Homo-oligomer: A and B are copies of this chain.
């Protein structure tokens, strides 16, 4: 699906409830934090293997999909409130990261986020 279609659905949802008044940038960032917290709760006492196993059950898949969707909708709301085009932002950032972490230098290294030039 196109990101702009998701945005249209979200704006309609918000408008029908007259909730735009609550969707200030800081409110939305705090709401995003709440949803990220719920996502963290799903993985906090599980190993990676247990998380993956959980995600393969119907219940676990739905729980994780719901949390991820919640994070995404608030993130899209933040971008919208700030007049930021998420498409453009992501493409620009991937391009920046490609320059920051040249493939031949960064290959297989978890030092990427701290030590690479």
Question: Which residues on A are within 8 Å of B, measured CB to CB?
Answer: 1-3, 6, 9-10, 13, 16-19, 21-22, 24-27, 29-41, 43-48, 51-52, 55-56, 61, 64-66, 68-73, 75, 78-79, 81-84, 86-94, 96-98, 101, 103, 106-108, 110, 112-113
Partner of A1, one of B3, B45, B81: B3
Whether A72 contacts B90 in the complex (CB less than 8 A), given A30-B26, A38-B37, A108-B21, comes out as: yes
Measured between C-beta atoms, what is the minimum distance from A50 to chain B in Å? 9
Q: How far is the CA of A24 from the CA of B51 in the complex (A)?
A: 10
Closest residue of chain B to A84, judged by CB?
B65
Measured between C-beta atoms, what is the minimum distance from A105 to chain B in Å? 9
Q: How far is the CA of A68 from the CA of B113 in the complex (A)?
A: 17
